[in-house]
Structure 1
Amino acid sequence: MKILNIVGARPNFMKVAPLHRAFSRYPDIESKIIHTGQHYDARMSDVFFNQLELPQPHYFLGIGGGTHTQQTAKIMLEFEPILASEKPDVVLVVGDVNSTIACALVAVKEGIPVLHVEAGLRSGDRRMPEEINRILTDSISDYLFVTEQAGLDNLKRESVPDEKVHFVGNVMIDSLVYYRQKSQQLDLLSSIGVEPDSYILMTMHRPANVDNEQGLRSIVQIARNTARHKTVLFPIHPRTLSNMEKYSLKEELEAISQVQLMEPQGYLEFLHLMESAALIITDSGGIQEETTYLQVPCLTFRDTTERPVTVEIGTNYLLRDLNPDTVEEHVQAILDGKAKQGQVPPFWDGQAAERITTIIREKLM
């Protein structure tokens, strides 16, 4: 069996790495990686591929930026001839980026089965391009691999046949489990000058939060308030940094005592920083899951979350706007020892890729 695995953005690497590793254990499975280049920074991309022990992509499409429509169209046009030459048995897509729906569409139109890993997640907010990508990809996929109970509920509500749906767990957690010990061996904290539990980790990158002056001013104030409690480590996303400079807020942020701005981190480095943090403040999707597994409190700035299990039984708190006062209340309560006691969701055990491989071998080979 030949499987083409699609990656387009950095979170996809962490999801495909355990799958490619699991597939490669079987001589009757040929696993190839297609990197669309949807999000591409040579330095960061190389870091992620090297750290996750992925081979160099068999194909790199070099799509780059553009609007959502432009990206999706360019990926489809570039992916079609690859399908024609490779003639894979299945195409595997992960997550909810433009590469996911674009490659799934091309495969379906060519009569090739599509496997969607991380299926069934819904935020309920169709203003998010990712939400549209999730819904459309699930509707055309042949096998849907689900990470949490909400995914099963959503797909049932959408009348997806039960035989297509498989509750397998979370491949993102597979990578965390696999690389956790390697991450713990890094000497990163001493080089920064902090101790475990002595700092708060902060990341912000969503356009709704960082593409306007009001949001950026709130982020600066949140950093200022939080730094009164502990050192704030802030690996700053290029988009956020660019907008801070655009609105003349970068110097104000840099001037805050106890706030350390950092470059974007590699996977192992960021995992190390997450595990040793007293608290994480973010607007990321994946960090909600990783902190729930690591049992680290997490404040997430989102109107909704497509990963409700992280709030329902995990360590995640959903804050619906960038209100510095609300953040301060939560930070104070958590540091005072009043954080909720989270649990690790079912099947978040590092074996999701193995379950997926078993299903593929049983159902498709």
Structure 2
Amino acid sequence: MKTAMIFGTRPEAIKMAPLYKKMKEKGIEAKIIATAQHREMLDQVLELFEIKPDYDLNIMKKGQTLSELTSRLVTKIDEILKKEKFDNILVHGDTTSTFLGSLAAFYNKIPVGHVEAGLRTNDIYNPYPEEMNRRLTGTIAQYHFAPTQKAKENLLKENIDEKNITITGNTVIDALLWVKQNKQKDIEKIKEKYNIKDKKYILITMHRRENWGEPIESVMKAIKKYINENKEMHIVFPVHLNPVVRETVNKILGKEEKAILIDPVEYLEFIALMDASHYIMTDSGGIQEEAPSLGKPTLVLRKTTERPEAIKAGTAKLIGTEEKEVYQAMKEMETEQYEKMSKASNPFGDGTASEKIIQFLKNK
């Protein structure tokens, strides 16, 4: 079984790394085609997991549009697939690299396995373009590795054959547990580096396109109001490099003493920040899956989530981006709701997703 794994962003690399390592451990021939859709952030993860891509497309260009990225990706991936004879292609999640990797595989009549399949918000512009990327990938894929029962049900509603769906849990839990097991000393050093061991803080991340402008401004105003009223609470915010995000965040929180604004951090550092936080506020999808394994409640800064399992399990709460609602949600975390959320069990798996995916492919 000769497998290609196509990915290009940090979240994809985090979630595919444990699967790649498990394949190599079992003697399966696996090659990585890294699109480098996000160059620096991708490299950080590859270094952490000690992975070297077999192909590096280095596709990222400053200010490129989705259309430009799309046309360049499909051409470059197609060239590799025509040269190599892969038995299957594995892609992850919902990025442009995911969709274009699937499309190139289809053009070359290579079966596609979709890791983290079946997530849906049912709104093609929220998140954008991720919701449509994953739907289109699901249409092309032959094998669907659903992280949860809900994700499987979504696929069945779209007339995907049940024999081609398997529930695996999410590989991000595999990755998180690997890091906790292998890098604990590094995690403790990172907490000292950022001087956060003795601080009570909320970890913030916010970067999605649909939140640019007024939504992120409203959230920052709510945060500013809250930390000015709460004497002991700080925030730690690794601010995305996009100028649209940075300008808004710095304008509202830049002069706040209890707002620790830092540049984006490597995955290992982010785990340390999560581990030491009081709770998390985010518009990220992956964090909703990781946080419960560390006992961290999550307030989701979005109108919808493709991970309703977190809401149902009580590990996360969908709070939107309106200033009044965000502030009120932060106040509610001072009540028994915090304890309830921090003790809820993780619905996204137990760290054996990679093993289940490999077993499924072996049986095909």
Q: Tell me the TM-score normalised to structure 1 length.
A: 0.92
State the Cα distance separating 1:16 from its structure 2 match.
1.1
Deviation at 1:196, TM superposition (A): 5.7
How far, CA to CA, are the matches of 2:149 and 2:198 in structure 1? 33
Deviation at 1:71, TM superposition (A): 1.3
Partner of 1:193 in structure 2?
A: 195
Matches within 5 A, 1:83-102: 83-102=81-100
Alignment check: 8 A CA contact 2:36 2:42 kept = no
Partner of 2:48: 51
Contact (CA 8 Å) 1:189, 1:196: kept in 2 or not? no
Report the Cα distance in structure 2 between the residues aligned to 1:173 and 1:196, rounded to whole angstroms.
Answer: 27
**Matches of residues 326-365 of structure 1 in structure 2 within 5 Å?**
326-339=325-338, 340-341=340-341, 342-345=344-347, 348-363=349-364
Q: Which residue of 2 aligns with 1:323?
A: 322
**Aligned Cα RMSD in Å?**
1.7
Q: What 5-or-longer segments of structure 2 have no aligned partner? A: none
Q: Does residue 3 of the first structure (1) align with residue 6 of the second (2)?
A: no
Partner of 2:67: 69
Secondary structure class of the residue paired with 1:6: strand
TM-superposed deviation, 1:96: 0.6
Measure the CA separation in 1 of the matches of 2:165 and 2:49. 28
Corresponding residue number in structure 1 for 2:312 = 312
Amino acid at match of 2:47: N
Tell me, yes or no, if the aligned pair for 2:221 and 2:252 is still in contact at 8 Å. no
How far, CA to CA, are the matches of 1:315 and 1:131 in structure 2? 23
145 and 216 in structure 1: CA distance in 2 versus 1, 3 angstrom threshold? closer
Cα distance in 2 for residues equivalent to 1:282 and 1:337: 21
Cα distance in 2 between the residues matched to 1:201 and 1:138: 33
Q: Secondary structure at the match of 1:335?
A: coil
Q: Check the 8 A contact 2:223/2:327 in 1, yes or no.
A: no
Match of 2:31 in 1: 32
**1:272-322: CA deviation from partner (whole Å, max 9, x where unpaired):** 1112211111111111111122221111111111111011104111112x2
CA distance in 2 between counterparts of 1:26 and 1:192 reads 38
Q: For structure 1, list consecutive stretches of 5 or more residues without a partner in the other structure.
A: none
Q: Which residue type is aligned with residue 189 of structure 1?
A: K
Aligned pairs, number: 352
1-side partners of 2:217 and 2:57: how far apart? 37
In the alignment, the residues of structure 1 paired with residue 296 and residue 135 of structure 2 have an alpha-carbon distance, to the nearest angstrom, of: 30
Q: Distance in 2 between matches of 1:252 and 1:142?
A: 47
Q: Provide the secondary structure at the position in 1 that maps to 2:300.
A: strand
Q: CA deviation at 1:221?
A: 1.1
Would you say 1:79 and 2:53 are equivalent positions?
no
Counterpart residue number, 1:113: 111
Shift of 1:51: 0.9
Asked whether the 8 Å contact 1:196–1:276 carries over to 2, the reply is no
1:183 & 1:325 partners in 2: Cα distance?
Answer: 40
Evaluate the alpha carbon distance shift between residue 196 and residue 158 of structure 1 in structure 2; reply closer, same or farther with a 3 A threshold: farther
Deviates more, 1:60-69 or 1:100-109: 60-69
Write the letter of the residue equivalent to 1:190.
E
Query: Once the 2 structures are TM-superposed, how far is the Cα of residue 137 of structure 1 from its aligned partner?
Result: 0.8
TM-score, normalised to structure 2's length? 0.92
